[in-house]
């Protein structure tokens, strides 16, 4: 089924400061996924496609209800920032803990809007999806990202992506499959 684009959809990218490879540990990946699931259930976030790479997240999303995309993304980033930084600090097995926390502290100290640590780069890099062709281009881009990085041979092999949903398998998040 094709979206007639009467509902606003967005291609969103969120990137960790300094492109730090934080999402190499399952714990941090699952904290982010839990936060996305919360936003789906309580903030009207509709996820059409997503991929979590080692240092950034791409999604195609819409919003159901009265919430605004910017507000939902702001809350999501604020919550994940605090939880992931705390998880890094508390993780006794995190070999890169001091270095990562120092980077987040340095970025926060140089930003007047931040009280202590800065996890995400500023902005959300939100692009409105205005045509079916653009949607398909971004959908392909999202699902092929792990293949291009040689993490997997086929998109549906990557656990932290909606490619599984598009192949009829159960993914880690509920996704509105639309081609």
Class assignment of domain 9-166? alpha beta
What gap in Å lies between CA 71 and CA 54, rounded to an integer?
Answer: 24
pTM of the predicted model over 0.85: yes
Mean pLDDT of 10-31: 97
How confident is residue 5, by pLDDT bands cut at 50, 70 and 90? Answer: low
**What is the average pLDDT across 85-107?**
95
Confidence bin at 1 (pLDDT 50/70/90): very low
Burial of 167 (0-12, 13-18, 19+ CB in 10 A): middle
Query: With 70 as the cut, is the pLDDT of residue 3 above it?
Result: no
* DSSP notation for 79-121: HHHHHHHHHHHH-TT-TTHHHHHHHHHHHHHT-TT-SS---BP
Model confidence at 113, in pLDDT bands (50, 70, 90)?
A: confident
pLDDT at 66: 85
Q: Which residue do the tokens 């979206």 mark?
A: 3
* Residue 138 three-state SS: helix
Rounded to the nearest integer, the mean pLDDT of the chain is 93
Q: Residue 111: its pLDDT value, please? A: 79
**How does pLDDT run across 168-178, given as a tens digit for each residue?**
999 999 999 99
Q: Domain map of the chain by residue range? A: 9-166
Residue 140 — pLDDT band, cuts 50, 70, 90? very high
| Strand runs labelled E in the chain | 9-15, 45-52, 56-63, 126-129
- Rounded to an integer, the average pLDDT of 116-136 is 93
Tokens of 51: 């991929």
Mean per-residue pLDDT for 122-141?
A: 94
**Are the C-beta atoms of residues 173 and 40 closer than 8 Å to each other?**
yes
């Amino acid at each position: 089924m094709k979206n007639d684009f009467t509902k606003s959809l967005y291609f969103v990218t969120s990137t960790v400061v300094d492109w730090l490879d934080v999402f190499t540990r399952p714990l941090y990946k699952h904290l982010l996924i839990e936060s996305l699931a919360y936003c789906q259930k309580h903030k009207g976030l509709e996820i059409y496609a997503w991929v979590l790479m080692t240092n950034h997240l791409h999604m195609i999303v819409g919003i159901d209800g009265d919430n605004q995309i910017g507000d939902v993304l702001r809350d999501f980033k604020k919550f994940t920032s605090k939880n992931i930084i705390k998880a890094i600090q508390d993780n006794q097995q995190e070999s890169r803990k001091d270095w990562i926390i120092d980077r987040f502290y340095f970025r926060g100290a140089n930003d007047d809007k931040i009280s202590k640590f800065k996890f995400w780069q500023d902005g959300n890099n939100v692009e409105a999806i205005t045509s079916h062709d653009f949607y398909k281009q971004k959908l392909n881009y999202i699902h092929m990202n792990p293949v291009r990085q040689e993490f997997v041979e086929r998109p549906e092999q990557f656990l932290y992506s909606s490619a599984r949903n598009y192949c009829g398998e159960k993914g880690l998040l509920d996704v509105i499959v639309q081609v």
